[in-house]
């Protein structure tokens, strides 16, 4: 989770005219929030013993441990510690998987185009901070969520926890769920307990309290709760990972030396850096590898042996759906503003040819396995772009036509519910276009 203006004092922030987005939300009336305020006045010199700056990871390498990144209680890492954690460029391929980022108010507004540009580097998910304790709401949450969804990213959310009892955990879950409901989030949304605050370390039963938090969210209709936990909280026994469920854990540990190896695969996800930078996007981002597919929507899809995954793209301006097996073409379209909709189907590597044609005047593509239809369209001015994939298998791809559309006049889907929905909205069903898996 994002750090709070590392290395800047409050007076420095005022001199730079940086407004704190948390101020409007920091008034607290509950007993728990009074304890949070009291914690803000505590001496922070003991944080090194509560959450050591460095630890040895499962690979024997030195890691940095994230700690204490509250919006209610700013924490400051030493300049030395900060400097030793390497910056990472999104263009650098010598890294673990770049599956999803997480953002908070410190990232400000992120545009749809900026989110889309991140997808070109493999990022297909974003986890957005919603709340903290029972008094703070991220003022940027709505735009961060809406723009991410518009860009085609999978959205999850997190709550920065201060609870040290089951009752406090339930109260914070209530506060978190209320804001999620106000934002219109689906009940299937991944909801995350961010458990890292050093001022609560060792107070209460972190394992039992986290389970109580998840149980309360389940009572409120949110059935997919995960837990963000620093590696030291697990290795020190502060949290029992097996009791929570290791695949329900998003573990955080930042290696000082990066490689392409994905570590900590026994967990659901691994946050491996807080220093990822993207071209033409300001600031640094936390970046994680997703091992279970709950936090991101993979771009490079695996498919059964003898088949190739077909990517489905959508242009919101023209209404056209586009299909390709080429990852570079997919990424180019994402950067151009197309939405990535995941897997359309799996095409066999051998079978009947399916041809792709393009109408430059309409800006439209057409796909057919009929050589006669291909030749007829070429005679009318369409460009023959060759064989795009093969037809074969047991699953029918249905072909539909919208006579009122200039671009995207034809649509193809293996989903019979989608087919029937389009027919009910006036599309003509033209039968089976080809087969896939």
Distance CA 9, CA 274 (A): 20
pLDDT at 339 (0 to 100) = 86
Tell me which residue of 355, 362, 361 sits closest to 405, measured CA to CA: 362
33 pLDDT higher than 90: no
Positive or negative, the CA dihedral 216, 218, 221, 222 is positive
Report yes or no: 2 and 286 within 8 Å, Cβ to Cβ: yes
DSSP state of 106: G
High-pLDDT (> 70) share of the chain, %: 82
297 three-class SS? coil
For 38, what's the count of Cα atoms within 13 Å in the CB-facing half-sphere?
A: 9
Neighbours of 220 (CB within 10 A): 18
End-to-end Cα separation, the chain, in angstroms: 39
What pLDDT digit, counting tens, does each position of 35-58 carry? 554 444 444 444 445 555 556 666
Q: What is the pLDDT of residues 257-272, one digit of tens each?
A: 899 999 999 999 999 9
Please say if the pLDDT value at position 6 is more than 80. no
pLDDT tens track for 56-81: 666 655 666 666 678 887 654 444 44
Reduced to 3 states (helix: H, G, I; strand: E, B; else coil), residue 13 is helix
Q: Residue 316 has what pLDDT? A: 86
pLDDT score of 53: 54
Q: What is the pLDDT of residue 65?
A: 64
Predicted local confidence at residue 281, as pLDDT: 95
* Chain mean pLDDT for the chain: 85
CB 103 within 8 A of CB 285: yes
User: 225 CB contacts (<8 Å, ≥6 apart)?
Assistant: 190, 191, 192, 193, 213, 214, 217, 218, 248
Q: Which pair of tokens denotes residue 260?
A: 């392409």
Inform me whether the pLDDT recorded for 82 exceeds 50: no
* pLDDT at residue 256, rounded to an integer: 86
Most trustworthy range by pLDDT among 73-87, 126-140, 249-263:
126-140
CA distance 152 to 164: 37
**pLDDT at residue 61, as a whole number:** 59
**What region, left, alpha or beta, does residue 262 occupy, with left being phi > 0 and alpha being psi -120 to 50 degrees?**
beta
Q: Average pLDDT in the 135-147 region? A: 98
Q: DSSP per residue over 343-371, as a string?
A: EEEEEESSSEEEEEEEETTTTEEEEES-H
pLDDT score of 327: 86
Band (pLDDT 50/70/90 cuts) for residue 359 is: very high
Cβ-Cβ contacts under 8 Å for 321 (sequence gap 6 or more): 312, 313, 314, 315, 341, 408, 411, 412
pLDDT for 300 equals 73
Eight-class DSSP state of 222:
-
pLDDT at 148: 95
What one-character DSSP code corresponds to residue 108? -
Q: Rounded to whole angstroms, how far apart are CA atoms 8 and 42?
A: 19
Pairwise pLDDT comparison (281 vs 3), residue with the higher score: 281
Domains of the chain: 10-290 (3.20.20.80), 307-436 (no CATH)
Residue 335 has a pLDDT of 78
- The lowest-confidence range among 20-29, 35-44, 351-360 is 20-29
pTM of the complete model: 0.73
CA 262, 265, 270: angle at the middle one, nearest 5? Answer: 70
The 3-state DSSP class for residue 98 equals: coil
Gap between the Cα atoms of 355 and 348, Å rounded: 14
Per-residue confidence (pLDDT) for residue 43, from 0 to 100: 41
pLDDT above 70: residue 24: no
Q: According to the model, what pLDDT value does residue 332 have? A: 85
Contact partners, residue 70, CB within 8 Å, separation at least 6: 4, 132, 160, 197
């Amino acid at each position: 989770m994002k750090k709070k203006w590392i290395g800047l004092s409050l007076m420095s922030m005022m001199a730079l005219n940086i407004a704190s987005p948390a101020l409007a939300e920091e008034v607290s009336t509950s007993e728990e929030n009074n304890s949070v305020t009291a914690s803000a006045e505590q001496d922070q010199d003991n944080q090194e013993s509560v959450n050591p700056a460095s630890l040895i990871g499962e690979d024997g390498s030195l890691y940095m441990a994230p700690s204490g990144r509250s919006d209610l209680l700013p924490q400051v890492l030493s300049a030395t510690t900060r400097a030793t954690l390497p910056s990472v460029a999104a263009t650098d391929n010598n890294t673990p998987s770049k599956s999803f980022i997480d953002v908070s108010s410190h990232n400000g507004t992120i545009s749809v185009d900026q989110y889309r540009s991140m997808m070109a580097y493999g990022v297909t998910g974003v986890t957005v901070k919603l709340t903290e304790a029972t008094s703070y709401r991220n003022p940027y949450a709505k735009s961060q969520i809406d723009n991410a969804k518009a860009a085609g990213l999978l959205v999850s959310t997190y709550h920065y926890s201060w609870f040290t009892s089951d009752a406090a955990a339930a109260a914070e879950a209530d506060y978190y769920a209320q804001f999620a409901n106000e934002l219109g989030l689906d009940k299937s949304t991944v909801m995350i307990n961010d458990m890292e605050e050093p001022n609560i370390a060792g107070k209460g039963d972190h394992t039992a309290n986290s389970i109580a938090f998840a149980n309360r969210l389940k009572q409120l209709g949110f059935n997919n709760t995960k837990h963000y936990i620093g590696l030291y909280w697990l290795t020190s026994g502060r949290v029992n990972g097996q009791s929570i469920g290791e695949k329900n854990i998003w573990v955080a540990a930042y290696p000082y030396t990066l490689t392409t190896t994905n570590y900590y695969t026994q967990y659901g996800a691994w946050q491996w850096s807080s220093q990822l930078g993207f071209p033409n996007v300001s600031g640094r981002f936390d970046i994680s590898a997703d091992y279970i597919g709950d936090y991101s929507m993979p771009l490079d899809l695996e498919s059964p042996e003898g088949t190739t995954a077909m990517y489905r793209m959508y242009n919101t301006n023209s209404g056209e759906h586009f299909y390709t097996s080429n990852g570079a073409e997919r990424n180019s379209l994402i950067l151009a503003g197309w939405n990535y909709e995941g897997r359309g189907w799996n095409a066999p590597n051998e079978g009947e040819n399916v041809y792709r044609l393009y109408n430059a005047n309409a800006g439209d593509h057409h796909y057919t396995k009929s050589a006669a239809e291909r030749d007829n369209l070429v005679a009318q001015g369409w460009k023959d772009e060759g064989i795009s994939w093969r037809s074969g298998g047991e699953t029918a791809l249905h072909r539909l036509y919208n006579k009122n559309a200039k671009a995207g006049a034809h649509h193809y889907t293996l989903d019979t519910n989608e087919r029937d929905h389009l027919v009910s909205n006036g599309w003509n069903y033209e039968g089976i276009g080809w087969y896939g898996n």
